[in-house]
Amino acid sequence: MATPLPRLTLVIGGARSGKSRFAEGLATAHPAPWIYVATAEAHDDEMADRITHHRSRRAEGWTTIEAPRDLAGAILAQHALSIAAKHAGASVLLIDCLTLWLTNVMLGGGDVEREQTRLLEALASAAIPVIAVSNEVGMGIVPDNALARAFRDAQGRLNAAVAQQADHVVLMAAGLPLTLKAP
């Protein structure tokens, strides 16, 4: 039997570092069904291909909820969803990813601070363990435009706030998990 999941796990890392695959492995170490909250939107062919690739990796047992903007609402609704027949007994909720969600909020003109507060409150009240995937975007060069700098800063604040609240934080680097905060 797998070790019980902490209330909140954050899996963070750079692009193509293995974050999603690692998070999915944490989830599938527990009995199905699992809930996958997807935040990506396919605005171009390349992103559509990425979404298709992610979907193809998920075996039977996953239920996908699309939540590109109202992530807090999806987390809060998961309790109601988990009691519905097709979600009965869900063992974990996986969010992939916080970075695309933040992008959607910012580009949609949302109130980033308000949405972050809603998200943190929803994570704190989740009825089942949550695994959240996010990108570490603050280790590179300073972006050359105001929007990119604002995004980098907002992502850094979001990652720090979720990590503070999380019981378990894993940094993925070169496909290897590095535990930053142990449960």
* Catalytic annotation, residues: 54
From first CA to last CA, the distance across the chain in angstroms is 18
Burial profile 118-136: b = 16 or more Cβ within 10 angstroms, e = fewer: bbbebbeebebbbbbbbbb
Say what the alpha-carbon torsion angle 120, 121, 126, 131 is, to the nearest 10 degrees: 0
Taking the C-alpha atoms of residue 103 and residue 151, their distance in angstroms, rounded to an integer, is 7
